Structure 1
Amino acid sequence: MGTGLDFMETGNSLSPPRTMELSKLQDLDDDGKPKRTGTVWTASAHIITAVIGSGVLSLAWAMSQLGWVAGPVTLVLFSIVTFYTSSLLADCYRTSDPISGTRNYTYTDAVKSNLGETQLWLCGLCQYVNLFGVSIGYTITASISAAAVSKSNCFHYKGHGADCRVSDSIYMIGFGIIQLFLSQLPNFHKLWWLSIVAAVMSFGYSSIAVGLSFAKTVSGNTGRTSLTGQEVGVDIDSAQKIWKTFQALGDIAFAYSYSMILIEIQDTIRSPPAENKTMKKASLIGVSTTTIFYMLSGCLGYAAFGNQSPGNILTGFGFYEPYWLVDLANLFIIIHLVGAYQVFCQPLFAAVEKWIMRRNPNMKILSKELTVIHTKNFRYNMNLFRLIWRSLFVTVATLLAILMPFFNDILAFLGAFAFWPLTVYFPIEMYISQKNIERLSPKWTLLKTLSFLCFLVSLAAACGSIEGVIEALHHYTPFQTKS
């Protein structure tokens, strides 16, 4: 009986049809999909691109809350935990066996195959709530950067004594309008180039922030620093110290979050060697590189601005010359976030639309496409349901950003909400299930203890961010926030 891989011999050569068939089969992986070509270096690049984002801008502020001792130690501890749990998650890419087991193409696929439907719903809730929160956080961040450009130019032309405050709400509305149009794209994967541009932008503004901090530190015009960060009785009171320390933990957690896309990155890696081995090497390279970069950004930023470090480091260079360099960095942030917003929100759009279509397969509004643009080289179809629901999503996210324009508090909450469940809890639970680790064994106890400690850190960060929002609301008038 043939196996589907047999070929006919004619002398010492393969017959042409069978040769072509075998060639096609050789271009496919064991799951019938085109052969994956990713390497340890491409996977490392994906990780670095995913991790280094707007979270880097808050690290100097986080350092100012923790100080020279706890700040660097916290960064290192988060990097160790992130790498360790990422290694556990890498072993869950294939079910049962890391070499021949069934592939899990997404994070939720891995959760479903290892932990079942109930845990899948919990994972989906954590992922999609976090993605919705990211849309709010990115809207706030982009508006702050746009306002910083306006202020920088104002200070340059009118002098440092001028009142250059501008309304953040106007820029949030502008960012929302841009996203209204981009959100109507039915298939964002065709705009892969926008993701590449966003990645280049993130490296650009992060490097400028590090360079400006270094220049400010070398010049000697620096702020006051201390071993413990902001001092009780001098900078803040004891209650504020506790809450802001918790908030700083959330900001650092947000800066390290990438586990939710780790399985998707691993699905690009070729084998042999086994994908989990390559992914562990890539995680080590990616997390190590990111940690070095974060150390530079956080420590140099803290050295430059001291205990009064701004929440967004690039907003602290308002008087810096050449002013155009600050403008360029903030412009990079805006461009990066325009693309990153869609990268994070498109999976949410797709999930909601697929769920609704499964429940209502006969509703015409879900499937009917109207041709809006049709030329020789380009065609664009509009779907009424997509137009209504995605526009509503962007509008609500923009409105919430206007109502809660608190950069550090929002980042801290997102970090707290995503870190424990997505970076720690699910990877550990899947690993225990897949490896059949005996309950109450030493390894089981250590893994559960690590998960519980990380849960306490996330809980503290969430409490700190919520308290920060409540405190900010006492001094806040809706729609009148100015940078």
Structure 2
Amino acid sequence: MKFVDENTQVEACESAMGIHKVERNAELDDDGKPIRTGNVWTASAHIVTTVIGSGVLSLAWAVAQLGWIAGVATLLVFSGITLYTSSFLADCYRSPVTGRRNYTYKEIVKSNLGGTMYVACIVAQYGLLCGAIVGYTITASISMVAIEKSNCFHEMGHEAACRFSYNPYMIGIGILEIFLSQIPNFHKLSMLSVAAAVMSFGYSSIGIGLALARIISGKGEKTTLTGVEVGIGISAADKTWRMFRAFGDIAFAYTYSPVLVEIQDTLKASPPESKVMKRANVVAVATTTTFYLMCGCLGYAAFGNNAAGNMLTGFGFYEPFWLVDLANACIVLHLVGVYQVFAQPVFSAVESWAAGRWPKSDFVTKEYGIGGGKNKQHKCSINLLRLVWRSSFVMLATFLAMMMPFFNDFLALLGAIGYWPLAIYFPIQLHIMKTKLRTWTWSWIGLQLINSVSLVVAVAAACGSIQGVTESLEKYKPFEVHE
């Protein structure tokens, strides 16, 4: 009892004098959770990792469908709107009354817009995240096959029948992601995101360099102000559907709103998270827009109206084969990282629900330490729910990817479904609610105009992508070897 009494007295004295208080809580944040260490550069890396993904490779094709005027204008408009509305989300991270943190996008919607919008947000957010994960599995396997085909063309000639299956590569990616998915949460992804961001700059730069070299050498193909022309092999209806799908591809290329709040939740409490996140948004969107314009415009100038759906796997470039291989390897490494950035909110949602539902279950809550040293402090741990649930999710995503390996049409559909509600509608509604913006003021009318036009574009892109997927499904037989 004497020992307990002494400790109680010491703690009382420390509390009264304010001594050692910071030291005792150095590992905890203002809400009792592990302290956050993120800054503007780690947040920018997360965003760049998310945004400069597989979508950048389809931009040359998208610009080819829209032409110089509409293509460049669409890229710039989506960039400006994304930056503008992302600031609305950043401002809603903390409650203006209590200062309480909203850890996820859906929590922001629930606390500000109510239960109905909360359900709609969950459907849109997790539908897009899950679809993107399937899309990244497809794209990574396409790049791995492209490496094998590049080597085959180099050895056998450009006319050789180099045909390989995507399936073994998808399975290999799935196995790797099962291991990486055991990373506990978003806060542990900083190094993976930085590495993935470096890879994205790497393959984007190689694509830009190869396109520029093709243009300088005089091999650039015909381009027009209005893009692909109606004529032999393409009808007016085909042209329209392609333009719609191009809008969807560009929308997908700018989609990071579903994980914006989760990224913001990694930032240190001081300076205020909203200010840091806005700076990160500016850095990341400016960087990605520059790369997008270079990839889209130079890719179109190099290949003209015949631009492939994937600039680095469509084999507009054959040589130097090793550089094409390096670019595709960078794509694979990047997508391995961005897979986890998109998957973490999905993982966390199920695990948080299970912890609330069964708080005393060892299967749900207990951590089993691995790799402890002499002092028995474990460097990592395994949770049974995390192991089973995340592994099952990755296996399901891999199976779906093997069932439908379509690139452009699938990206367009994801962009159409997710961009408008998550990047436009909810942020605008949150801003109106937060600022108590009066109806029919000029600001309100401007926001509603952005909302309405974006909805029309999203519906058009969805129609175009569904038409494209339908055409692909008519020709496709699952699990067969494909070009």
* TM-score, normalised with respect to structure 1: 0.87
Measure, in 2, the Cα distance between the counterparts of 1:269 and 1:190: 12
Superposition pairs of residues 154-303 of structure 1, within 5 angstroms? 154-186=152-184, 189-190=187-188, 192-268=190-266, 275-303=273-301
Deviation for aligned residue 1:390: 3.0
Other-structure match for 2:430: 430
Other-structure match for 1:310: 308
8 A Cα contact 2:45 2:194, kept in partner: no
Measure, in 1, the Cα distance between the counterparts of 2:380 and 2:36: 31
Deviation for aligned residue 1:381: 6.0
Show CA shifts across 1:339-366 (max 9, x none): 2212221321221133234334565654
Measure, in 1, the Cα distance between the counterparts of 2:25 and 2:391: 44
Measure, in 2, the Cα distance between the counterparts of 1:232 and 1:61: 16
Which secondary structure state, in structure 2, belongs to the residue aligned with residue 482 of structure 1?
A: coil
Measure, in 2, the Cα distance between the counterparts of 1:259 and 1:305: 32
Deviation for aligned residue 1:106: 2.8
Measure, in 1, the Cα distance between the counterparts of 2:15 and 2:363: 52
Measure, in 1, the Cα distance between the counterparts of 2:45 and 2:363: 41
Other-structure match for 1:458: 458
CA RMSD of superposed structures (Å):
3.1
Other-structure match for 1:347: 345
Paired AA for residue 326 in structure 1: V
Measure, in 2, the Cα distance between the counterparts of 1:413 and 1:208: 27
Measure, in 1, the Cα distance between the counterparts of 2:15 and 2:119: 52
Measure, in 2, the Cα distance between the counterparts of 1:432 and 1:54: 33
Deviation for aligned residue 1:418: 1.5
Superposition pairs of residues 111-190 of structure 1, within 5 angstroms? 111-186=109-184, 189-190=187-188
Count of aligned residue pairs for this structure pair: 468
Deviation for aligned residue 1:174: 2.2
Measure, in 1, the Cα distance between the counterparts of 2:423 and 2:414: 13
Query: In 2 relative to 1, CA 402–271 (structure 1 residues): closer, same or farther, beyond 3 Å?
Result: closer
Show CA shifts across 1:254-282 (max 9, x none): 11112223334444556776544444344
Comparing 123-132 with 183-192, greater Cα deviation is found at 183-192
Uncovered stretches (5+) of structure 2, i.e. residues with no partner: 1-13
8 A Cα contact 2:211 2:298, kept in partner: yes
8 A Cα contact 1:60 1:299, kept in partner: yes
Measure, in 2, the Cα distance between the counterparts of 1:56 and 1:35: 34
Which secondary structure state, in structure 1, belongs to the residue aligned with residue 334 of structure 2?
A: helix
Other-structure match for 2:87: 87
Deviation for aligned residue 1:60: 0.6
8 A Cα contact 2:210 2:317, kept in partner: no
Deviation for aligned residue 1:248: 0.6
8 A Cα contact 1:94 1:102, kept in partner: yes
Residue 358 (1) aligns with residue 356 (2): yes
Uncovered stretches (5+) of structure 1, i.e. residues with no partner: 1-13
Query: In 2 relative to 1, CA 82–368 (structure 1 residues): closer, same or farther, beyond 3 Å?
Result: closer
Other-structure match for 1:110: 108
Deviation for aligned residue 1:181: 3.4
Measure, in 2, the Cα distance between the counterparts of 1:42 and 1:394: 26
Which secondary structure state, in structure 2, belongs to the residue aligned with residue 236 of structure 1?
A: coil
Other-structure match for 2:10: none
Other-structure match for 2:3: none
8 A Cα contact 1:156 1:319, kept in partner: no
Show CA shifts across 1:84-132 (max 9, x none): 11122222223237xx844333322322221123322221221111111
* TM-score, normalised with respect to structure 2: 0.87
Paired AA for residue 471 in structure 2: E
Deviation for aligned residue 1:156: 1.0
